[in-house]
Each structure stands twice: as C-alpha cells, then as structure tokens.
C-alpha cells in the first residue's frame, strides 16, 4: 500500500492510558481487522499515574458490551521515540494535543492530530474524559471514538503513502 509497504503506525494518546486511548486502540484494532486494513497500533498516556495497569474496569466493561476485549492492554507513558516511530499520534482531546505539540522533539516526524477532527461537524471536539463519570460517560466516549476511528480509517485510505514503512 505504500512505497515501503509497511502498515500505518498509529499511537492513540490520552491522559492516563486507562480509559479513552485503550478504547481507541481496541476499536481501531477491531475495525482495521474487519476492513483488512494494515495498521500497527498502540496507545499511551501523557501522565505516569497508571503505568503498567490494566484499563479502568469501566472501560473494559463498555468495550466488552460492544464485543471488544481490551483487558490485555497495559498502560504506558508516551516516549520521545514515539514522535519518530509513529506516522500519527492521535490525541483524544485538545489538551492532550497541546501537550504533544509542546513535548514534540524538533526532529519528530509524527503527524499530531485530534481524533474527532476526522468527524464531520466535530473538528476541535474532545472525546470527553469519562474517568470521573458514570457508565453513560463511558458509552458516550466509546460512541465518539467509533466515529473518530471510522473517519481516521477513511483518511488513512485516502493518504496511504504517509506511512514510514
Ligand atoms: P484517560 O482518563 O485519560 O481517558 O485514561 C483518565 C484516567 C486517569 C486520570 C485522568 C483521566 N487520572 O487523573 O488519574
């Protein structure tokens, strides 16, 4: 699909890497497999509070209700090398995107973007942090993430030569 023939490398980033970005990773993996779209995916947090932990039980539960198993994921923090390794670092909200732009090394090559920028009528919108919310907040986050992933896959299909291979 590219000059180098490699899969698109995508890193989803939120604050804690226990709620939103693990859901994005899980939805992207399931959707890309269904579409036979070659991607290499991971997720990470800007914060270090939850390193090594499983996703939040409420995130595992909402994913499971939608047929997706994210229970094997473990939280990690972003690394400087991510900015050179990934084709895209996809932030789940605007404050995370600001942090990524601030942290990006001068030679970072990853495209830094916001997930919901891929959704018509939603550019600039956040996937609201469900951490202090209830199950409804987790369902809303998953619903937004699904829309964002569908749009992201459309974008990847339209610009396949952006991968580092
Ligand atoms: P996430 O949610 O960024 O979607 O993983 C959060 C998880 C933990 C915290 C904040 C947001 N926290 O403050 O510990």
Identify the pLDDT of residue 163: 72
What six digits make up the tokens of 165? Answer: 């291979």
Every domain of the chain and the residues it spans: 12-162
Give the lowest-confidence range in 1-5, 54-58, 83-87, 113-117.
1-5
Tell me how far the alpha carbon of residue 131 lies from the centroid of ligand 1, in angstroms: 6
Tell me how far the alpha carbon of residue 132 lies from the centroid of ligand 1, in angstroms: 8
What is the bridge-based pairing of β-strands 8-14 and 111-114? unpaired
pTM attached to this predicted model: 0.95
Has residue 3 got a pLDDT over 80? Answer: no
Q: Whose CA is nearest to atom 8 of ligand 1?
A: 16
Distance CA 38, CA 19 (A): 24
Classify domain 12-162 by CATH architecture: 3-Layer(aba) Sandwich (3.40)
Which atom number of ligand 1 is nearest to the Cα of residue 20? 4
Residue 116 in contact with residue 125, Cβ under 8 Å?
yes
Backbone φ, ψ for residue 90 (5° rounding)? -105, 110
Distance CA 6, CA 4 (A): 6
Q: If pLDDT is split at 50, 70 and 90, which confidence band does 1 have?
A: very low
Burial 83-110 (b: 16+ CB within 10 A, else e): bebbbbbbbbbeebbebbeeebeeebeb
Q: Is 17 in the pocket of ligand 1 (CB under 6 A)?
A: yes
Has residue 127 got a pLDDT over 50? Answer: yes
Mean pLDDT for the chain overall: 94
Has residue 89 got a pLDDT over 60? Answer: yes
Mean pLDDT of 25-30: 98
Q: Is 19 in the pocket of ligand 1 (CB under 6 A)?
A: yes
pLDDT tens digits, 62-83: 999 999 999 999 999 999 999 9
Measure the CA angle with vertex 162, ends 85 and 98; round to 5°: 60
Helix 57-65 vs helix 135-158: angle between axes, to the nearest 10 degrees?
Answer: 70
Has residue 15 got a pLDDT over 80? Answer: yes
Residue of 45, 70, 130, 133 to mutate, ligand 1, most atoms within 8 A of C-beta? 45
Burial 34-55 (b: 16+ CB within 10 A, else e): eeebebbbbbbbbbeebeeebb
Mean pLDDT of 143-164: 88
Distance CA 87, CA 164 (A): 6
Has residue 2 got a pLDDT over 60? Answer: no
Has residue 6 got a pLDDT over 90? Answer: no
Q: Is 15 in the pocket of ligand 1 (CB under 6 A)?
A: yes
């Amino acid at each position: 699909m590219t000059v180098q023939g490699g899969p698109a490398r995508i890193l989803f980033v939120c604050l804690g890497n226990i709620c939103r970005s693990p859901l994005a990773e899980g939805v992207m993996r399931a959707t890309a497999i269904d579409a036979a779209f070659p991607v290499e995916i991971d997720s990470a947090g800007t914060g270090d509070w939850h390193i090594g932990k499983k996703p939040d039980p409420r995130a595992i539960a909402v994913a499971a209700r939608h047929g997706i198993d994210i229970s094997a994921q473990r939280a990690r923090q972003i690394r400087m090398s991510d900015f050179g390794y990934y084709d895209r670092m996809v932030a789940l909200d605007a404050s995370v995107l600001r942090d990524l732009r601030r942290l990006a090394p001068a030679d970072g090559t990853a495209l830094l973007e916001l997930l919901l920028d891929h959704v018509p009528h939603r550019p600039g919108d956040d996937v609201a942090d469900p951490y202090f919310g209830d199950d409804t907040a987790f369902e809303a986050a998953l619903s937004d993430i699904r829309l964002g992933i569908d749009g992201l896959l459309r974008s990847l299909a339209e610009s396949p030569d952006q991968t580092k291979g």
